[in-house]
A and B are shown apart, each in its own frame.
Chain A
Amino acid sequence: MRPSKSAYLLLMPVGLVLGAFFLVPLALLLYTSFNTHAPGTFALATTYEFTWANYSRLLGPPFTRYLWLTFKLSVIASALGLALGYPLAYLIARRRSDWVRTALLGFLIAMLFLSVIVRLYGIGLAFLSMPALRAVVEAIGVPFASSTMSEIMIVTGLLHVTIPIVTLTLVGSVQNVNPMLEEAARVLGASRWFSVLSITVRLSIRGLISGFLLAFTLSMAAFVIPLILGRGNVLFVSNLVYNRFSQIVNYPSAAAMSVVLMIMGLVAIFAVARVSNPRWQR
């Protein structure tokens, strides 16, 4: 149905809000990223001098070091999230509608809704108030104050975010694989675990890949988790941006980093879109 002229009014509120608080900010960000930073200027610059310096400085340390950390920890958290989430998703998907299914789904959705601050605080507090945990960690040779420990804590925090999301996504995926196919494999003599792996997992591979990419995108963009659990010795790119905003007041540099982070995120998301698109499988 073609819209009448007045029907376009329905789109106006969204358009206004997005235009003002989304498009203009992003444009300003891009614009600022090419400005030369005048040290000592607080808030906005009054002069403008085009330069590539903000970007070229990103090609070496320390940015590359933190970019690598962000990437590495995001990959680990996403892969682990998949490995831990798939069995849970399989259980929920194959379960008849009963209280177990409702309870598990409710738990996962509650975890999604639950403030990340509560979970973060819980993880930090757990490490502070349970000496047993510290003993375990130090037994494998990681001193508690080290940055490796911070990395472990960050991955723990990221897992709390990735596992619920990945699991809920995978439930949909596994549900769409016909359970009869597994039964058919078992009738032909395959064991239960082999039939699950070779049939259901194989057929839900698209869900697995897009789950991984979704978790990866979320992890790369993580801000609060590395802020608290990184304890200052591990930073994600998003934390670098915030530092350039609040501590080392250098808006052009922060803007340049934001643009780079944004582009990486978009690449990952387009990868998700390609994978989810049916035309991907010929």
Chain B
Amino acid sequence: MTAPLSDISLKSASTSESPRMSTRSPGQRGVHGRSADRIATVVFAGTIIVTLAFLAAPLVVVLGMSVDSRQFVSTFPPPGFSLQWYQSFIDNPYYISGLRTSLIVGAAVMVISTIAGTAAALFLDRYTIRGKAAVEAFIFSPFLIPAVILGFGVFLFTAQAGIRNPYARLIGGHTILAMPFVVRSVMSGLSGISPLYREAALTLGANEWYAFKDVTLPLAKTGIVTGALFSLAISLDDVAVALFLSDTRVYTLPVALITQMRVSFDLTIAAASSVITLATLFGVIGLQRWIGLDKVVGRGVHGQ
């Protein structure tokens, strides 16, 4: 039953199996060969280039067409340069009113959601109570609901409750959207801070308020600022909720742009879009300078 010694082969393979890849010549390696790898690399690089071009193309078109010297939408790229569409945007009271409303609402939403969200995050970070998971789930639940539904629901509520001021409605609706982001951002910022710092400050004689102001706040700064910026961006960008809560006199810039877009693809919208794009670009560059994008995404356990 045991095989004779002479039958046991010291080679790396038995007679019925194929030899290991490392002992074969490149041509024999089939799917593990060098040409397979070359094809895979081309596909890989190609996909990345296509994806990046795909993402960037609409922005290029918008920026390019926004300086079109012609009077109507025609082929890209435009033959002549003109700032007429930017002028048209600034001169248009419809858009400027929308911009004004957006900025007012956005600023209010940023302030309210940052203060309320930071307070809640402080509580969640420091204390444990029974049902803490339920509280956290509740605070994050607006994430789970599509914005359209939130908009419709807030409309029903404000109509029923008699809240007629459109600013109040818009601010309320946007705060709901933004607050979970703020809480999450501040919580992740707070989670890196050891509770010992605050306790040290308290031992040295500071009261709660000073301990917060001079110790916790500076350490949590990145989380709070990120959350505040997120809330501003969410408010400025929202369409779904604002469509329900705006009225004929008070409306946000996105509502104005979308309403116009359904009628015609006027190049004034291109100018407005370019302005928004540039503002976003500055925002992200500022974020990189101040906080560092790696901190926003993280490097993982095996980061280099």
Contacts and interface: CB of A to CB of B under 8 A. Distances in A.
Do most interface residues of chain B lie in helix, strand or loop, or is the interface mixed? helix
B127 A28 contact: no
B156 interface: yes
A188 interface: yes
B254 A115 contact: yes
B297 A172 contact: yes
Interface stretch (B85-93, B117-125, B213-221): B117-125
A145 interface: no
A114 B51 contact: no
Interface string A215-250: 000001101100110000000001001100100000
A122 B273 contact: yes
Interface residues of A, number: 97
Nearest to B174: A21
Interface in B234-285: 236-237, 239-240, 243-244, 254, 257-258, 261-262, 265, 269-270, 273, 276-277, 280-281, 283-285
A269 B152 contact: no
A96 B284 CA distance: 21
A42 to B, nearest CB: 11
A15 to B, nearest CB: 8
Contacts, number: 304
A166 B120 CA distance: 29
Interface of B: 20-22, 24, 29, 31-34, 36-37, 40-41, 44, 47-48, 50-52, 54-59, 61-62, 65, 73-76, 112, 115-117, 119-120, 122-123, 126-129, 135, 138-139, 141-142, 144-150, 152-157, 159-160, 172-173, 175-176, 179, 183, 233, 236-237, 239-240, 243-244, 254, 257-258, 261-262, 265, 269-270, 273, 276-277, 280-281, 283-285, 287-288, 293-294, 296-304
B285 to A, nearest CB: 8
Do most interface residues of chain A lie in helix, strand or loop, or is the interface mixed? helix
Contacts of B237: 115-117
A266 interface: yes
Nearest to B40: A193
A65 interface: no
A177 B47 CA distance: 22
A159 B129 contact: no
A44 B159 CA distance: 8
Nearest to B127: A3
Nearest to A179: B302
B236 A115 contact: yes
A51 interface: no
B152 A29 contact: yes
Interface of A: 1-3, 7-11, 13-14, 17-18, 20-22, 24-26, 28-29, 32, 43-44, 83-85, 87-88, 90-91, 93, 96-97, 102, 105-107, 109-111, 113-126, 128-131, 159-160, 163-164, 168, 171-172, 174-179, 188-194, 220-221, 223-224, 227-228, 238, 241-242, 245, 251, 254-255, 258, 261-262, 265-266, 269
A13 B303 CA distance: 39
Contacts of B283: 113
A10 B122 contact: yes
Nearest to A26: B153
Nearest to A25: B153
Contact of A191 (B32, B57, B75): B32
Contact of B144 (A168, A177, A265): A265
B280 A110 contact: yes
A91 B233 CA distance: 28
Given A14-B183, A111-B55, A130-B76, A189 B22 contact: yes
A44 B156 CA distance: 8
